[in-house]
């Protein structure tokens, strides 16, 4: 995400045009005249998309059937203009690689000649949206990424944050949306594998996995199959590797019918003096390949993930990688064993764009050149071409640069774990990436240019106009509050996710202090009393209505969830899932989202240390709701002083802390009552958030509260009901007698609020402390019994609510609806 500015890179083709509309001149010039006059939402060339879907098979056939492209080293250097022999680079081949005409012109200018087929492949993946962030990087630069807690911000494999005492947490979230839709089990599994590699690459042992999942409407014919496959894939991979999956969120919305989202987050623990980076500093150093063998899977996965879907997306199944969690487990152990010795200079996992991206980034960051001899790359299949090896996204592979002479020691460790170990190249002082295969030079590209010359687009955008506020009175009141509660809690939005998280091993490693189902998971820092708190959140309907406010809300919701367990929020990772950025309204959502995130992170001192952007989540021109998933990480100083949502003590008083305005716009209740989500999302007041957060953390650490829950989806009554269900203890609600409509009080989704359970003796003290901070607080219920009771209404037995809440998902998955 950390990227040089266009001027720094010597690029002058990015310019800003006044009036809020921005155009990239080169891009503009390449457009069809019709599109230039009228920037339609479908600015992406349809013809290109149609051709694109056949690309993978075409390329495979070509590489197998035709003469391999070759380029004689001497000829190449003496006459750089000479086109590479072998496959002729036609405009159609260029288009099949997802390169626009102007991008190809740029490539020609950089090389000063026609690229070889392998070089074309290398550039196409490096310049794919997935690898280059070409549409998003100008905006990502505006995010706050530093703070005294930050050891490493965006730009490395993952972010690193200080936990004190020499401990550090390494974390990141990454999407595997496109592959998971095409092949849910493997798509999700390899998403988990990839994000874990990003974490242990930096020297951290992965200790917690989370995931943010969005599926289509339950009634959509593919949803059940996708849920089943994705959940099994996440579990199948994480359970085998032995890293607990401790939390996450799952939503259903028709906006994801044709583009599901699978965002996987991983956090690991490292020592601050043992963090490993990817800069290959030094010349003449051995470049080592370790892990699984290279196969033909996942070729062009990054390019696939950078394009929209159409009706034949399933033909892209061959571009989905296949995961092997067992090898990942061995790779983790072998890498951590080697990292304990002092021999690694640089290390990088082979993720998107595989060998190409990892070797290029390591060389670029180290300011060196690199040679790769593909003859030495361990291969799973016979007769692989250079093109295939450079673009393969086979999983569970790493590239390392070692101190010279340490190879035997390193090799012994990898052999012990039964993994491949091969010296495939060395760093050089030429500044070039030279790839040879069977005695032929297959690619010869200046490293810095390859790493940094991806086009940067200032895509045209216009801001989303936030809808007007909905007044509470405009939303009809229910006949009975408690019946409505039961209806809400037994539907897809709020039903228990137990069916999902029971398929994940959430306890392996023996440090899971707080399991899934609460506000945030808490994982003990092994061997200490400290704890990591982790949560991920976003409410896409808020973001869709108002990207700025909605994203601010997503950031503070993670912050509140961490606070509600007693943690100090430290930093976030983000996963920006959006539709086609070439549509100005989508780009506007992205820009608004970044602005909202930036403001919230800055004010809360809660910087962004890593992240991932997934664009083109769109099928046949219909995009997903904007979904900036936020993963928050916090530190619990002592796991003996944490809170959970379970009501535990009879006759406690439940106190609501935070301001009440009865905001029903975009609320779950509004949808139930009116059939749609409308109006502005609930506003976020960051100053109030900070005050309420401080108070709640203090109350938890002083042991004054026996349960805490933040108020989010569904509002106050849902929050209380969740606390009751979790603790198996009923509550008597106190009737509201203020000026707002009662249903807006029970179901309004006002932000910045917590429910805390306190001993009646302490209630006055808690109220007083809120008052001193000018924070509203009031008593809303008393705990005890086995029902949820409210004056004037039929009591709702807890057992009945529990059954309804837990029935929906298993019933749905069993095909009961």
Stretch that binds other proteins, among 86-94, 322-330, 441-449, 711-719 (CB under 8 A): 322-330
Stretch that binds other proteins, among 133-141, 237-245, 720-728, 770-778 (CB under 8 A): 237-245
740 touches other proteins by CB under 8 A: no
Comparison of 119 and 806: residue with beta carbon closer to other proteins? 806
741 touches other proteins by CB under 8 A: no
Comparison of 324 and 426: residue with beta carbon closer to other proteins? 324
520-539 binders of other proteins (CB under 8 A) = 524
- DSSP calls for 365-383: HHT-EEEEEGGGS-BSSTT
Report which of 794, 483, 802, 491 is spatially closest to residue 671, judged by C-alpha positions.
Answer: 491
| Minimum CB–partner distance for residue 240 and other proteins (Å) | 4
Pick the binder of other proteins from 119, 349, 388, 505 (CB under 8 A).
Answer: 505
394 touches other proteins by CB under 8 A: no
b/e sequence 606-637, b meaning 16+ C-beta within 10 Å: bbbbbbbbbbbbbbeeebbbbbbbbbbbbbbb
Comparison of 9 and 813: residue with beta carbon closer to other proteins? 813
Pick the binder of other proteins from 177, 239, 263, 573 (CB under 8 A).
Answer: 239
Comparison of 328 and 546: residue with beta carbon closer to other proteins? 328
Measuring CA to CA, how many Å separate 183 from each of 154, 188, 236, 264, 614? 29, 8, 14, 16, 17
242 touches other proteins by CB under 8 A: yes
Stretch that binds other proteins, among 270-278, 337-345, 442-450, 495-503 (CB under 8 A): 495-503
HSE on the CB side for 98, CA within 13 Å? 23
**Do residues 493 and 252 make contact, with C-beta atoms less than 8 angstroms apart?**
yes
**Do residues 162 and 146 make contact, with C-beta atoms less than 8 angstroms apart?**
no
Which x/- pattern over 751-790 shows residues binding other proteins (rule: CB under 8 A)? ----------------------------------------
CA distance 367 to 429: 9
635-654 binders of other proteins (CB under 8 A) = 639-640
Stretch that binds other proteins, among 39-47, 297-305, 324-332, 619-627 (CB under 8 A): 324-332
**Do residues 53 and 316 make contact, with C-beta atoms less than 8 angstroms apart?**
yes
b/e sequence 505-543, b meaning 16+ C-beta within 10 Å: bbeebebbbbbbbbbbbbbbbeeeebbbbbbbbbbbbbb
Stretch that binds other proteins, among 68-76, 228-236, 605-613, 747-755 (CB under 8 A): 228-236
**Residue linked to tokens 């380029």:** 71
240 touches other proteins by CB under 8 A: yes
Measuring CA to CA, how many Å separate 365 from each of 17, 122, 338, 426, 537? 33, 18, 22, 15, 33
Pick the binder of other proteins from 417, 421, 457, 747 (CB under 8 A).
Answer: 417
| Sign of the four-CA dihedral 505, 506, 511, 513 | negative
Comparison of 649 and 778: residue with beta carbon closer to other proteins? 649
| Minimum CB–partner distance for residue 644 and other proteins (Å) | 10
Q: Which two tokens stand for residue 753?
A: 């609020």
| Number of residues this chain uses to bind other proteins (CB under 8 A) | 32
Stretch that binds other proteins, among 211-219, 239-247, 719-727, 745-753 (CB under 8 A): 239-247
Q: Which two tokens stand for residue 409?
A: 């020691």
Report which of 281, 180, 286 is spatially closest to residue 230, judged by C-alpha positions.
Answer: 180
509 touches other proteins by CB under 8 A: yes
The bridge status of strand 627-636 relative to strand 531-537 is: antiparallel
Comparison of 504 and 559: residue with beta carbon closer to other proteins? 504
Q: What phi, psi does 562 have (nearest 5°)?
A: -65, -45
HSE on the CB side for 253, CA within 13 Å? 23
Comparison of 191 and 789: residue with beta carbon closer to other proteins? 191
266 touches other proteins by CB under 8 A: no
* C-beta atoms surrounding 101 within 10 Å: 17
Stretch that binds other proteins, among 348-356, 390-398, 503-511, 721-729 (CB under 8 A): 503-511
b/e sequence 210-225, b meaning 16+ C-beta within 10 Å: bbbbbbbebeeeebbe
**Do residues 558 and 550 make contact, with C-beta atoms less than 8 angstroms apart?**
no
Comparison of 327 and 577: residue with beta carbon closer to other proteins? 327
Comparison of 499 and 559: residue with beta carbon closer to other proteins? 499
Pick the binder of other proteins from 379, 512, 551, 610 (CB under 8 A).
Answer: 512
Comparison of 521 and 538: residue with beta carbon closer to other proteins? 521
- DSSP calls for 614-672: E---EETTEEPPPEEEEEEEEEES-TTS---S---STTPEEEEES------TT-HHHHH
Pick the binder of other proteins from 326, 341, 483, 799 (CB under 8 A).
Answer: 326
| Sign of the four-CA dihedral 521, 639, 756, 759 | positive
| Minimum CB–partner distance for residue 469 and other proteins (Å) | 44
> Catalytic residue positions?
130, 176
Stretch that binds other proteins, among 13-21, 23-31, 323-331, 757-765 (CB under 8 A): 323-331
Pick the binder of other proteins from 17, 340, 507, 698 (CB under 8 A).
Answer: 507
277 touches other proteins by CB under 8 A: no
330 touches other proteins by CB under 8 A: yes
Pick the binder of other proteins from 114, 430, 503, 528 (CB under 8 A).
Answer: 503
420 touches other proteins by CB under 8 A: no
253 touches other proteins by CB under 8 A: no
**Do residues 206 and 199 make contact, with C-beta atoms less than 8 angstroms apart?**
yes
75 touches other proteins by CB under 8 A: no
166 touches other proteins by CB under 8 A: no
Comparison of 137 and 506: residue with beta carbon closer to other proteins? 506
**Residues with Cβ within 8 Å of residue 742, at least 6 apart in sequence:** 477, 481, 735, 736
Tell me, rounded to whole angstroms, the distance of Cα 352 from its chain centroid.
Answer: 14
CA distance 165 to 670: 48
* C-beta atoms surrounding 477 within 10 Å: 16
CB-neighbour burial class of residue 761 (10 A; exposed 0-12, middle 13-18, buried 19+):
exposed
502 touches other proteins by CB under 8 A: yes
47 touches other proteins by CB under 8 A: no
Binding residues for other proteins, rule: CB under 8 A, are 232, 235-236, 239-242, 324-327, 329-330, 417-418, 501-513, 515, 524, 639-640
């Amino acid at each position: 995400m950390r990227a040089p500015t266009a001027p720094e890179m010597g690029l002058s083709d990015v310019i800003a045009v006044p009036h809020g509309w921005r155009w990239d001149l080169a891009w503009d010039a390449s457009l069809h005249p019709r599109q230039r006059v009228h920037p339609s939402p479908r600015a992406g060339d349809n013809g290109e998309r149609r051709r694109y879907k056949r690309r993978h098979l075409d390329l495979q056939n070509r590489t197998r059937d035709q003469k391999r492209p070759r380029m004689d080293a001497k000829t190449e250097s003496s006459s750089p203009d000479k086109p590479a022999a072998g496959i002729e680079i036609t405009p159609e081949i260029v288009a099949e690689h997802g390169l626009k005409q102007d991008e190809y012109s740029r490539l020609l200018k950089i090389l000063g000649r026609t690229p070889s087929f392998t070089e074309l492949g290398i550039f196409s993946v490096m310049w794919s949206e997935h690898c280059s962030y070409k549409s998003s990087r100008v905006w990502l630069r505006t995010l706050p990424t530093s703070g005294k807690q930050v050891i490493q911000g965006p730009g490395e494999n993952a972010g690193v944050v200080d936990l004190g005492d020499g401990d550090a947490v390494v974390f990141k979230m990454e999407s595997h949306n496109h592959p998971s839709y095409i092949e849910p089990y493997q798509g999700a599994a390899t998403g988990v594998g990839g994000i874990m590699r990003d974490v242990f690459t930096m020297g951290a042992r992965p200790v917690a996995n989370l995931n943010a999942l969005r599926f289509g409407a339950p009634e959509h014919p593919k949803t059940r199959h996708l849920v089943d496959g994705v959940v099994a894939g996440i579990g199948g991979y994480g359970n085998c590797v032995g890293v607990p999956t401790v939390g996450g969120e799952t939503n259903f919305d028709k906006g994801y019918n044709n583009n599901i989202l699978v965002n996987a987050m991983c956090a690991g623990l490292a020592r601050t003096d043992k963090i490993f980076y990817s800069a290959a500093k030094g010349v003449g150093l051995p470049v080592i390949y370790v892990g699984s063998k290279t196969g033909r899977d996942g070729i062009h996965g990054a390019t696939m993930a950078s394009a929209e879907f159409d009706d034949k997306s399933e033909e892209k199944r061959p571009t989905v990688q296949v995961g092997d969690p067992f090898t990942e487990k061995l790779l983790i152990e072998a890498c951590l064993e080697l990292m304990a010795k002092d021999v690694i200079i640089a290390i990088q996992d082979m993720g998107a764009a595989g060998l190409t991206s990892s070797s290029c980034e390591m060389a670029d960051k180290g300011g060196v050149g690199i040679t790769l001899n593909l003859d030495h790359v361990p291969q799973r299949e016979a007769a692989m071409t250079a093109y295939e090896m450079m673009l393969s996204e086979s999983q569970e592979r790493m590239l390392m640069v070692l101190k010279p002479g340490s190879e035997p020691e390193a090799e012994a460790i990898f052999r012990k774990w039964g993994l491949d170990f091969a010296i495939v190249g060395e760093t050089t002082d030429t500044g070039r990436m030279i790839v040879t295969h069977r005695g032929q030079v297959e690619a010869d590209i200046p490293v810095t240019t390859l790493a940094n010359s991806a086009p940067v687009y200032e895509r045209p955008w216009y801001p989303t106009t936030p809808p007007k506020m909905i007044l509470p009175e405009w939303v009809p009141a229910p006949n009975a509050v408690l019946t409505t509660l039961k209806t809400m809690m037994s539907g897809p939005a709020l039903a228990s996710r137990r069916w999902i998280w029971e398929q994940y091993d959430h306890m392996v490693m023996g440090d899971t202090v707080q399991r899934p189902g609460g506000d945030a998971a808490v994982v003990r820092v092994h061997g200490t009393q400290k704890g990591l708190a982790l949560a991920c959140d976003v409410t896409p309907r808020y973001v869709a209505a108002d990207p700025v406010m909605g994203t601010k809300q997503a950031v503070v919701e993670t912050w509140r969830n961490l606070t509600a367990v007693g943690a100090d929020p430290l930093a976030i990772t983000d996963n920006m899932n959006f539709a086609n950025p070439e549509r100005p309204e989508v780009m506007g959502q992205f820009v608004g989202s970044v602005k909202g995130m930036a403001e919230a992170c800055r004010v809360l001192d809660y910087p962004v240390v890593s992240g991932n952007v997934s664009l083109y989540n769109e099928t046949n021109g219909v995009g997903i709701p904007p979904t900036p998933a936020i993963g928050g990480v916090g530190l619990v100083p002592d796991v003996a002083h944490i809170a959970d949502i379970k009501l535990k003590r009879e006759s406690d008083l439940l106190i609501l802390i935070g301001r009440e305005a009865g905001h029903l716009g975009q609320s779950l209740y509004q949808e139930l009552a009116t059939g749609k989500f409308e109006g502005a999302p609930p506003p976020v007041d960051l100053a109030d958030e900070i005050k309420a957060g401080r108070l709640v953390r203090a109350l938890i650490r002083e042991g004054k509260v026996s349960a805490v829950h933040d108020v989010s989806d569904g509002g106050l009554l849902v929050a209380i009901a969740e606390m009751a269900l979790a603790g198996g203890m009923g509550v008597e609600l106190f009737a509201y007698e203020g000026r707002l409509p009662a249903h807006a009080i029970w179901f309004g989704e006002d932000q910045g609020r917590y429910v805390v359970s306190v001993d009646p003796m302490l209630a006055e003290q808690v109220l007083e402390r809120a008052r001193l901070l000018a924070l509203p607080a009031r008593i809303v219920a008393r705990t005890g019994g086995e029902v949820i009771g409210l004056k004037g209404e039929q009591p709702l037995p807890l057992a009945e609510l529990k059954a309804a809440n837990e029935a929906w998902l298993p019933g749905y998955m069993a095909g009961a609806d």
